[in-house]
Structure formats: C-alpha cells, structure tokens
Amino acid sequence: MNPAIATPEGQSQATSPAAPTLALLNVQRSFGPIQILHDISIELHPGEVHALIGENGAGKSTTMKIMSGYLAASAGEIVLDGAPVTFSRSREAEAMGVTLIHQEFNLAQLLSVEQNIFLGHELRKGWLLDHGSMRAKTRELLERLETPIDPRAKTADISVPEKQMVEIAKALSRKARVLIMDEPTAALTTRETEVLFKQIERLKAEGTAILYTSHKLDEVARIADRVTVMRDGHIVRTALRGEMDEDQMAEAMVGRELSDMFPAKRPASGAETVLDVANFSVGSIVKNVSFALERGEILGFAGLVGSGRTELMEGLFGVRSASGSVAINGAPVKIHSAEDAVNAGLVYLPEDRKENGLILTQDMRRNLTLLALKKFTNVLIDGAAEEAALDKAIVDFDIRAPSRDVLVGNMSGGNQQKVLLAKIMLAEPQIVIIDEPTRGIDVGTKQQFYTFIHQLAEAGHSVIVISSEMTEVIGLCDRVCVMRRGEIAGEVTGADVNEDTIVRLAMGLDKKGNGHG
C-alpha cells in the first residue's frame, strides 16, 4: 500500500513515518442508483490529526460512517493495521478500536450522564453492575474535560455544550486507537474548545489516529497535520500542514473563489417598531429584559453560552413559561404556545434542528408543510398543493437532495437547515427568530444563509439572530443586544458593532446601551 495517496490539484507526496492504522482504498458508496462516493482513498496515521473538510453534501458523513461501521461500502476496501476488514456494524468497529463521536448527539435523553457513557459497555462486579466504579470513572472523564456535571444528572436536563462533552467523554472511555470526530466543537464555547484541543494533543502523544471534520477552518489550520478536501463525493486535494491556508481550503471546498461573505449592510432606516418586549422574564434564567425590533431590521443577540439568549427566545415563542409584556405592531399579545406565536406572526428556527425542528423519519414535503398545515387542509390534506409548495421551496432556498422523497434525516446538515428555514417561512411571519443559523454548516452554504437572511429583511421581515460566532454577529446584524447572566448588558450599533465592545459587554467589563438594557 502506498504511504501517500495520489490526488488531483497538487497532492503532496510526503509520507508519514508510521504505517496507517486505518485506511480506505478506492471506496465507493451508492444509495440506489445514486452514487455518493467515488473512489475515496484516505489514510489515518497514528499520532496524527487528519482533517476531512468539504461542503455539506460533499460525502464526509458517508465516509466517516463507512470507516466506523455504520454503513457498508458498495465497493473498495477498509484496511486496519495493514489487513482488509469488514465492519458489519458499529459495535464491531468499536471492538477493533474505531470510535465515532457523532455531531448530532447519539445520547439517550432519559438516561443519566453516567448511564450514557457506559451504555453497552457497563462495568460489572460479578453479576451486578458496578455503579460505584462507573460513577467514579465518569467523574474522572468529566474532570479531564473540565466539565463539572453530576454523573447522575439526566441527559435531557443538561445544556447542548455539556451534551457534546458527554459524547467526547463517552468516546474517551472506549480507549479508541482510531477516533473519528464529526464537528466536535460545533456546540462548544471557546473555553471548551481549548479543553478539547488539549485532549487531542494528549491522544496524539498516545498514538491515537484522529480523523477530524469541522467547518471552522481556523481550527483545521491550527490542529490538522494533514487535510483532505472533498467535493461532490470526490477527493479533490490532500495537503500537509501549512500547504493550504484557510482561503485556499474554502476555495477547494466550493470550487470557486469566496469573497464578500456578508451582504452589504443597509443604512439605519428608523422604521416603525414591530416587536416591543418589556420587563420579560423566563423562569430564573432571564430577568426583566426589554428590547425593541424594527421592521426590516436584523437584530443580533450575542453573549456567552448560558447567558440566556436561547431561553429568552423560547419564552417569546411560548415554549417556556414567561412573564412580562409583548406587543406586536403596537398591540399587546399573549403567547403561551408555539401556535399562539405563529398566529401572532412570529416564528422560531431552533438551535437544535434535529431535536426540535425536523422530523427526521419523514420526507421533505411533510416537514415543510407541518407548521402551516391549515393552508393545505380542507377536510383532507391537499397533496398537490404541498408538492407545489415544495417545488417553490427547492428553488427559493436552493435545497439539494438526491430525490424529493429522501428522508430528511438522510440529508446533509446544510440542506436540513434550508428545509427548516423554508418551513418557518411558509407560515408567512412578520418576525423571524433564528438561533445559531449556521451551526454545523459549511462555508459555501453559510454565505447562502447570510444572503437568505438579508433578503428576508429586504422584503420587510424583521429578523432576530442568535449566534455564538462573532464574525457572524458583526458581519450580519444591524444592531446587537449583548446578554450576560440573563440580562441585557448593553446594546451596540454602527461602528460599535465590533468584537472588542461585544466581548467586554459579554464579560461584564463594560456598560453600554440606549436605555433598553
């Protein structure tokens, strides 16, 4: 087996000092008549981070699932320690030391953290489960990840970043020789990301071979020893550390030069107020928040994870108990449910699209029309009208799928997000709340989403964007409310929409506002 894989567009011929632990050789994968992967060859070497990057739909997830036993290859070979292997299921791959950390959490929500980490790998003392050892080991793993969660906590009750750390702890408990990481930092804060990177360095020193996928190209440039770029089911380039900068990675991913990522901001219009929120509280998390939203405005909500941004919007949308006053177009409204919100002209695209936004086991049409089903129902559901709405959504939002009957759970993350955006816009809202609009989405699709959001504002919709990505908040939003500990610490506009001002407010180092905070 050749130690270096020949690929187009300037493949480096340098070799790694050690033979690969795991390799794919000319792997293909088809779903029915549609070929998804074309002759994929990639090697994972001990003590090396190999980044796999590409747009949503490029074939990364399928490649990782074949490596880890979740999918079978249609052709080609998997080679482990120099010998061909066949994984009939993921448990078989795990038994041979190959573990996948899923981007979309593979956790049992009703079980405890401890139970999730050892599910299927329980420690025993004779015939009985050794709960003491499992709890101690869970605590040790979480301390290593600087994540102080009670091992007995129910997984449904912990935050999204904490769930990601539980997934990582679960993988670390398996002592994998090959660790495949699918967007591991998508839900993590900067501090948590640094903790993960320390663990990656530790695993490298122990000789673990790591495959790392991420849409955060600055992370890839920082930690990857080797980078492979996929596009449309093909490998288009593999390069060693330092041979591609972030711009070159992005251009290789999308096959074109990327410039002007964000649409040009419009001058402040002084339009009428569409949404007025006063003294709004959500449980013990959000306290007496007041803000206003103008017609055609893109209003950002920034702040650290745990600052109350998502809880505030869930309260406004009626899925959390809340108190305070809300007025839309000057008229007071009472919103106690998602149905109330939609009827009032307010929609919400949630942070976790798979858990709260989409039905993964249904096709695009059923997902698309669910929120606005009344429009398609007259005793019976009008299937022809639903199909026409799907035709329009596919064109308007550039939804790409192998067929219109594909289950949404089998679509790429970016296309799932497009379906979700099309779904909420079918309700014809005035106010659109979008929580983490581009989490887990590639750079090319991000650019599309920024254009979609800009077009919504241009068309007179009022948009609230919650984002943990500073460049997104600064590049996209006309005005930004910064939250800290459940309150608005300040509000910034114009030239003050910059990283230094926003971070100082989020950290409690400054106060700035116009009276709403």
Instruction: Please write the tens of the pLDDT for every residue from 268-317.
Output: 667 799 999 999 999 989 999 999 999 999 999 998 777 899 999 999 99
CA atoms within 13 A on the CB side of 72: 6
The Cα angle at residue 214 between residues 209 and 219, in degrees rounded to 5: 85
Distance CA 368, CA 498 (A): 36
- Joined tokens for residue 454: 């800009």
On the question of pLDDT at 212 being above 70, the answer is yes
| DSSP label at residue 356 | I
Mean pLDDT value across residues 140-147: 85
Strands of the 22-31 sheet, one edge to the other: 34-44, 22-31, 75-80, 83-85
pLDDT at position 269, please? 66
pLDDT at position 438, please? 86
On the question of pLDDT at 161 being above 90, the answer is no
Where does CATH 3.40.50.300 sit in the chain?
1-97+176-257, 260-264+271-345+430-517
Domain 260-264+271-345+430-517 has CATH 3.40.50.300: yes
Nearest partner of 215 among 400, 438, 41, judged by Cα = 438
Residue 32 makes CB contacts below 8 A (sequence gap 6+) with none
| DSSP label at residue 509 | S
Question: Which residue type does 272 have?
Answer: E
The Cα angle at residue 315 between residues 309 and 317, in degrees rounded to 5: 105
3-state secondary structure of 87: coil
> pTM of the entire structure?
0.62
Residue 380 makes CB contacts below 8 A (sequence gap 6+) with none
pLDDT at position 431, please? 95
Per the CB < 8 A criterion, the answer to whether 168 and 184 are in contact is yes
> How far apart, in Å, are the Cα atoms of 133 and each of 53, 150, 284, 444?
38, 15, 35, 46
Instruction: For the chain, give the percent of residues with pLDDT over 90.
Output: 41
CATH topology of domain 1-97+176-257: Rossmann fold (3.40.50)
Nearest partner of 482 among 270, 277, 307, judged by Cα = 307
On the question of pLDDT at 46 being above 70, the answer is yes
Q: Output the DSSP codes for 102-149.
A: -SS----TTSBHHHHHTTTS--EETTEE-HHHHHHHHHHHHHHTT---
Interstrand relation of 234-240 and 226-231 (parallel, antiparallel or unpaired): antiparallel
